[in-house]
């Protein structure tokens, strides 16, 4: 029998592991004002929501694309994405973690975090 090539070990997928990758990716790509919101037990939509800001439409789109690439590379997870072509507000649905990447003006206009402020928001330093 021929030996099978070594297969890459898959990293276990948990909401906390996805959240850790998301936060690392956003930090690496210089996202600003990163905020995590714990949704566990509050909604069936997801376990975590992450909201952050990019300085321009180009940076917002780049932050989103890099995050999508890292999710696929690390977890073999093809997250759903909306808004990347415009770059004002990108929504990434990674299952148990939902990520919103905004331009500053758009984030200020929608004030999405205010909808969830009583659910345990945690700013990321």
Give the domain ranges of the chain: 15-123
Q: What is the pLDDT of residues 48-90, one digit of tens each?
A: 999 999 999 999 999 999 999 999 999 999 999 999 999 999 9
Looking at the structure, give the CATH architecture of the domain made up of residues 15-123.
2-Layer Sandwich (3.30)
For the chain, give the percent of residues with pLDDT over 70: 83
Q: What is the pLDDT of residue 41?
A: 82
Widest distance between CA atoms in the chain? 63
Is 99 a residue whose pLDDT tops 50?
Answer: yes
Is 124 a residue whose pLDDT tops 70?
Answer: no
Encoding tokens for residue 73? 């590379």
Print burial letters for 76-91: b (CB count within 10 Å at least 16), e (below 16): ebebebebbeebbbbb
Q: What is the pLDDT of residue 4?
A: 42
Cα dihedral across residues 70, 20, 92, 79: positive or negative: positive
Question: What's the whole-model pTM score?
Answer: 0.84
């Amino acid at each position: 029998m021929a030996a099978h090539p070594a297969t890459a070990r898959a990293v276990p997928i948990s909401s906390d592991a996805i959240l850790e990758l998301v936060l690392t990716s956003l930090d690496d790509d210089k996202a600003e004002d990163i905020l995590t919101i714990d949704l566990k037990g509050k909604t069936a939509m997801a376990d975590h929501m992450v909201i952050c800001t990019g300085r321009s439409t180009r940076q917002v789109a780049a932050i989103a694309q890099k995050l999508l690439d890292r999710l696929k590379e690390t977890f073999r997870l093809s997250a759903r994405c909306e808004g990347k072509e415009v770059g004002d507000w990108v929504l990434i649905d990674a299952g148990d973690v939902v990520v919103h990447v905004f331009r500053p003006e758009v984030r200020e206009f929608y004030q999405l975090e205010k909808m969830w402020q009583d659910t345990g928001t945690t700013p990321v330093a």
